[in-house]
Structure 1
């Protein structure tokens, strides 16, 4: 006898972790790791105070950038704020001419 199991397919929503969703989780993680690496390098090369400042600036700047990009949406969309007017490209003379031809065919 075969056993069947239900397959959980998720909710079709992006993964959310501590306010970051989808690809922005990786962006936040990358900014933390980049801050740690740059902070460690600057501590080793320059001084402890400068390294801590670089560490804090990289992490805070990366998080701010990630959060500001996340507010725009998960997918990049152009958001034009204004009135868009699409002009018609239909030439009315073409239809008048076609109508005359069809009228001429039906007269005879």
Structure 2
């Protein structure tokens, strides 16, 4: 007889950390890492003060962008605004139904 195991139902919810959900956690980490690298490069080439400003500015900008994208939802959706009318070509519809019915 096969063993039966309980299913953990909590896996159906998106992962949430510090207000970021799902894929946006990765976006936040990526903005942190990229701003640290950019700040380090700018700091080594020019001055540490400018590198620190680049690091802080990149981090704040990246997290702000991530928060704005998260408000749109977890998945990219095309949101059309307006009223759409679809035309139906009755000639094609009538010809298609005759072939299907065998008439």
The TM-score by the shorter chain falls in which range? 0.7 to 0.9
Taking the aligned partners of 2:12 and 2:85, their CA distance within structure 1 comes to: 35
Q: Report the counterpart of residue 53 of structure 1 in structure 2.
A: 53
The offset of 1:72, in angstroms, is: 1.1
Superposition misfits of 4+ residues, deviation over 6 angstroms: none
The offset of 1:59, in angstroms, is: 0.6
List gaps (5 residues or longer) in structure 2.
99-103
Deviations 1:2-29 (A, max 9, x none): x865231425121111111000000000
4-13 or 79-88, which deviates more = 4-13
* Matched residue count: 94
Larger radius of gyration: 1
Q: CA RMSD in A?
A: 2.4
The offset of 1:89, in angstroms, is: 2.0
25-34 or 60-69, which deviates more = 60-69
Taking the aligned partners of 2:90 and 2:46, their CA distance within structure 1 comes to: 69
List gaps (5 residues or longer) in structure 1.
99-108
In the superposition, the TM-score normalised over structure 2's length comes to 0.78
- 1:88 matched to 2:88: yes
